[in-house]
Structure 1
Amino acid sequence: MKRPGEILREILKEKGVESIGTLSRKWPSGEDIYQELALLLLEGDGAIVKLGEPVKESWDLEGRKKGPSLYAYVRPCMVDKFEVVVSREDLLHKLPDYPWIIVDLMFWDKHIPKEKGKVSLQLRETYAVMRRMFWPRRLAITWVNEEFKRMSKLPLNKVEAFEGSTADFLKLRGIERVVLLDPNAQEVLSQDDLKEKVFIIGGIVDMKGDKKGTTAKIGEELESKGIEVLRRKIVLRGDIVGVPDRINHIAEILLRMLYGENMEKAILAVQAPTHARWRLRKEIPKRKIRYLIDGKLYLVVEKELYDELKQWLNIRWEDFVKVLRETGMVALERRRIHHLNKISVYRLDRSGGKRVILLKRAALLCYNC
């Protein structure tokens, strides 16, 4: 799968165009001006033409400023005055019809007002993700109602805002099988699943904590209408803990995977320290060592564990220390732990076992870093 900006570059290379200028004040900005330029063309907002006289300034296909160019982007009102080099139709011809990313709002009315506001915000951010990484016309929002239209503040004319059900949307397009992204699914999203035409994300925010299993009901509704549903989850090293759960984050992880990134790399690209700490709270206790020193119990982990976890979690040292304090643990350098092990005796107990040290001075070795 390729971004519209990449497809535009390929078309320009085929036509021998090395740089593009502009005759309009409307010119893309940001990290990838050719992605934005491709979206302008796809939205019918102008074309790339060949001029009679070169413009003074242009941008090469890497987005760097160059000198004069005979090729420029112009607005619709000026297209007829020049020879068109790349039009909307040229891009559409090479842009695939799929995949679709659908956000299903079937359970919109189950949300409290604050949750509805969160759903609307996350969908605005999903629209921004689709502009940056793909094409908003491949974002569909189903079960759209009047309340959502008022609250969303989305340019609904630039996405597929469908007032009917997801099943009706799919049947109109002859689609009989979809991937439903569900954190409670049994199977993990695989490379084979990425070949499907449609991916569904539940438009659900659970601030009250009473919507567990709701995404599965979206799948059940689709199956009752004759749609085959592949329920899949996105995991980080075998666990959903630490995987961002906002609608826009899930959409970005999915798009990154469609562009060829592996699941772990895609997750880390959008994982905030907050999400990383969720996983940290689960990972650190797995590595604890219990020491009974002069009658006092210490829970100890290796200080070097931070470097190990940092390779696949977006954590900072302060996050590591914060979770240690929350869990009542201490971190020691590996060499100190080796010393403690030498002077301790291992004894089994109901919690699985601990190392017992009778020397009072050994307690001085334990401290929070």
Structure 2
Amino acid sequence: MKSLGLIFKELLESEGIDKIGGLHRMRGDDPFQEMAISILDGKGAIIRLDEPVKPAWSLDGELVGSSRFVYSPSGHDDTLIGREEIKRELSKYEHPYFIIDLMYWDEHTDKEKRKLALQLNQSYGLIRDYLWGERLVLTWLNKRAESSMHFPLQRITSFKGPTHKFLAENGMREAILLDPWAEKDIKPEDFISKAFIIGGIVDKTGNKKGATPRMGEKLQENGIKVKRRRISLRGDTVGVPDRINLILEILLKMIFEDKKMEEAILEVQPYKDARWRLRKELPKHKIKLGKMVIVEKELFYEYSRWLNIRWKDFQKVVDDLKFIALEKDEIRKVITKMSSRYWRVMDSSDVLGEF
């Protein structure tokens, strides 16, 4: 699926523009995404100047000297590409909505609401890295929730009603629900969906335990066909980030960057989540030698290929489990030494048995 930045570059190319300059410094990694977002926000346009300006970027994102075609943060009468031109181009595509369902907002404590608001703020920034704010939807948005937000709600799709009503009003009768309790992983064939729903929940305990499946039930009761899908790491959800913004980021990477699920998880996985998964994995490899429980140090290299762990994370988990990490050669020496000691004891017993 094409991102906003890619569509904008194709629009520039169709207008015969192969490089673009900027009248102010671009802060993001993708200058074309940033330009397109600013133009959609009504903060500028692409214009043509009599004299070239620096810096300029090729459509491949490389700095290439100067250009007469520039992004200007202020309005001009001689606009080549403005807000309406980009919106017209976007209307040729069917980009999905990414819906965060806030049905359980009032079930959260004040501290949890602050965490949730922070994750929503980060989700707003993320959606603008790939699309534009309108594609992020907050449903069940009441005044109490609105007052907790720290980003411009007018630049996303704010919906005071339930999720099923938003879907119905926009002609959608089915959606993908990201649910850690789902039996099936999300797959590329699911990416044709017009709506992806993430539960607006933090700390899934108490009344919020099992809230995501209940969201799915409510949608189905109101005529929405729900496909429950999970994000998993090698068949298990342990170690998969549960913060809303990170779930969204994994999903966006899979859809717009063609990342495999495992690769997308590894790129955003907090060390803490990686350690939780490692705590589950290491006991599978334990070696009991007397009162000692040993694991191979070399396991660090195996697990660091698909868990975001550093050596100190590996050592912390080993310590927490009260294991000892030794290299394979050291383990063999310990086994040999213990075996030799065992046979010496046995030989002594045989000698004593003769008396």
Settle same-fold status: TM greater than 0.5. Answer: yes
SS at match of 1:194: helix
- Counterparts of 1:280-295 in structure 2 under 5 Å? 280-292=278-290
Give how far 1:217 is off: 0.8
Give the partner amino acid of 1:77: G
- 1:45 Cα deviation (Å)? 2.6
Sort the Cα spacing of 1:360 and 1:214 in 2 relative to 1 into closer, same or farther, 3 A: farther
Q: Distance in 2 between matches of 1:16 and 1:357?
A: 82
Alpha-carbon distance change, 311 to 360 in structure 1, aligned in 2, over 3 angstroms: farther
Instruction: List aligned pairs for 1:321-336, cutoff 5 A.
Output: 321-336=315-330
SS in 2 for 1:300: strand
**Deviations 1:171-195 (Å, cap 9, x if unpaired)?**
1111001010011111111121122
Partner of 2:2: 2
Q: Distance in 2 between matches of 1:360 and 1:12?
A: 83
**Residues 1:195 and 2:192 aligned together:** yes
**Percent identity of paired positions between Structure 1 and Structure 2:** 44
TM-score, structure 2 as length reference? 0.90
Residues 359 and 181 (structure 1 numbering): CA distance in 2 closer, same or farther, change over 3 Å? Answer: farther
Q: Which residue of structure 2 aligns with residue 364 of structure 1?
A: none
Mapped contact 1:139–1:159 kept (Cα < 8 A): yes
Structure 2: tracts of 5 or more residues without a match: 346-355
Structure number having the greater strand percentage: 1
- Compared CA separation, residues 90 and 344, structure 1 to 2 (3 A): farther
The two structures have a TM-score, normalised by structure 1, of 0.87
The Cα of 1:97 is off from its aligned counterpart by: 3.0
The CA distance in 2 between the partners of 1:341 and 1:91, in whole Å, is 69
Rounded Cα–Cα distance in structure 2 between residues aligned with 1:52 and 1:228? 56
CA contact (8 A) 1:40 1:46 kept: yes
* Cross-structure match for 2:174: 177
Aligned match for 1:298, one of 284, 292, 297:
292
Measured in 2, the distance between the counterparts of 1:44 and 1:21 equals 18
In 2 relative to 1, CA 212–175 (structure 1 residues): closer, same or farther, beyond 3 Å? Answer: same
Structure 1 Cα separation of the partners of residues 27 and 344 of structure 2: 65
Pick closer, same or farther for the CA change 1:133–1:357 going to 2, 3 Å. farther
Q: CA deviation at 1:44?
A: 3.0
1:152 counterpart = 2:149: yes
Shift of 1:57: 4.2
- Among 135, 138, 141, the residue aligned to 2:135: 138
Distance in 1 of aligned mates of 2:105 and 2:317: 35
Alignment of 1:236-275 (within 5 A): 236-259=233-256, 260-275=258-273
> What is the CA distance between 1:223 and its match in structure 2?
0.6
Q: Which segment drifts farther, 125-134 or 12-21? A: 12-21
For residue 131 of structure 1, report the CA deviation from its aligned partner.
1.3
2:81 to 64, 68, 86: 86
Residues paired across the two proteins, number = 342
Structure 1 gaps, min length 5:
346-355, 362-369
Matches within 5 A, 1:1-369: 1-23=1-23, 25=24, 27-75=25-73, 77-78=75-76, 80=77, 82=78, 84-95=79-90, 96-206=93-203, 209-259=206-256, 260-292=258-290, 297-341=291-335, 358=342
Aligned Cα RMSD in Å? 2.2
| Matched letter for residue 319 of structure 2 | R
The 2-side partners of 1:193 and 1:88 are apart by 31
Q: Residues 360 and 7 (structure 1 numbering): CA distance in 2 closer, same or farther, change over 3 Å?
A: farther
